[in-house]
Amino acid sequence: MLLDIFTYSFMQRAFIVGNVIAVICPLIGVFLVLKRLSLIGNTLSHVALTGVAIGMIFGIYPIYTALAVSVLAAVGIEKLRKNYKDYAELSLSIILATGLGLATILISLSNNNSGIFSYLFGSISMVTRQDVLTVIPLAVVIIGVILYFYYGFFFLAFNESDAKLAGIPVKILNLLFMILVSITVSLSMRIIGGLLVSSLITLPVAGSLQMAKSFKQTIIYSIIFSVLAVNTGLFISFYYDLASGGTIIVASVIYLIAAIIYKKINSFLYKRSELKVAVKD
C-alpha cells in the first residue's frame, strides 16, 4: 500500500526533515529572489560542500562543519559586496570559485566517496536522528528571526536605499539574512543535496509569482509549492529507488510549469470575458 512507506523509520525521519526544509527554503527564497540575489543560494550550497568534506576527513558531523564554512562564506560575500558595489555578482563568483576549489581538493582526500555523494545529490536513506534533532531547532530559529525582523527584511527586499531612510539597520539585517541563507542551505543538503538545494529555494518562488497578488501570498504559495514538491519527490524516490534531490527538483519544475499554464489559461479566460462585455456594450 501507498502508506506503507511510513512504516520505515528512515522514511519517517526523511519526511520530518523534508517538510521542515520545504518550509524554510521558500521562506528564505522569496526575499532572495526579490533582492535579485537568487544565485547566493547556489554559491553557498557549493561552498558548504567544503564543510562537508572537512567534517568527513576529521570525523566531525558534516552538517556542523558545513554550517561553519557556509556562515563564513556568507560573511565573506557580504564584505565583498561592499567592495564591489557596482559589480555585486562578482563577490558570488569569487566565493564560488574558492569554495569549489577547496571542495574538490578536500573531496579527493576523503575516503568516504559514498557519503560525499549523498550530500551532493541528497539521500533519504542517510537521514539520521541527529539530522532531525539538528534541523528542527535551527529551522525554528530561522522562522523566528524572519518573523521578528519581517518588516525590515521586507524593506530590504525591495529597496535598500529607502530602508536606510526609514531608519532600518541595513548592514546588520543584510548580514543576519546572509547567515540565515547559509544555515538553510546547510540544513537542506541531506535531503536535497548540495548541487540542487538552490533550486528548491527559487523554483517554488517562481511558481508562486505566477499566481500571487501580494507579498504575503507569494510566501504562502511558495511554501505550498515547496511542500507539494518535497512530498511528491520523497514518495517517487522511495518507490522507484531514485535520488531524492533530483526527484524533488523535477517535481518543483512540474509544479512551476503547471502554475505557468494556469496563469495563461486564467489570462485567456479573463480576456475572453472582457471581450464579451465589450461586444455587449
Residue 181 has pLDDT above 70, yes or no: yes
Predicted local confidence at residue 1, as pLDDT: 63
Tell me if 115 sits within 8 A of 56, measured CB to CB.
yes
Task: Report residue 180 CA to chain centroid gap.
Answer: 11
**Of 188, 245, 256, which is closest to residue 222 (Cα–Cα)?**
256
Residue 171 cell numbers, joined: 548592514
Share of the chain above pLDDT 70, in %: 94
Half-sphere exposure of 265 (CA within 13 A, CB side): 6
- pLDDT tens per residue, range 116-135: 777 877 888 788 899 999 99
Instruction: Set out the domains of the chain in order of their start, with CATH numbers.
Output: 2-202 (1.10.3470.10)
**What mean pLDDT value characterizes the chain?**
87
Predicted local confidence at residue 279, as pLDDT: 60
- pLDDT tens per residue, range 201-252: 999 999 999 999 899 999 999 999 999 999 999 999 999 988 888 999 999 9
Record the pTM.
0.88
Residue 149 has pLDDT above 70, yes or no: yes
Amino acid symbol at 164: K
For 148, other C-beta atoms within 10 Å of its C-beta total 10
Residue 275 has pLDDT above 70, yes or no: no
Whole-angstrom distance, CA of residue 129 vs CA of residue 136: 11
Helices 9-34, 129-148: axis angle to 10 degrees equals 30
Predicted local confidence at residue 277, as pLDDT: 61
Tell me if 23 sits within 8 A of 231, measured CB to CB.
no
For 127, other C-beta atoms within 10 Å of its C-beta total 25
Residue 281 has pLDDT above 60, yes or no: no
pLDDT band at residue 112 using 50, 70 and 90 as cut-offs? low
Can you count the helices (H) and strands (E) in the chain? 12, 0
Please tell me what DSSP assigns to residue 213: S
Q: Which residues of 15-46 are buried (b: 16+ CB within 10 A; e: fewer)?
A: bebbbbbbbbbbbbbbbbbbbebbebbbbbbb
3-state SS assignment for residue 281: coil
- pLDDT tens per residue, range 15-67: 999 999 999 999 999 999 888 877 888 888 888 889 988 998 888 998 999 99
Question: Which stretch of DSSP H or E encloses residue 279?
Answer: helix 244-280
Residue 278 has pLDDT above 70, yes or no: no
Tell me if 71 sits within 8 A of 50, measured CB to CB.
no
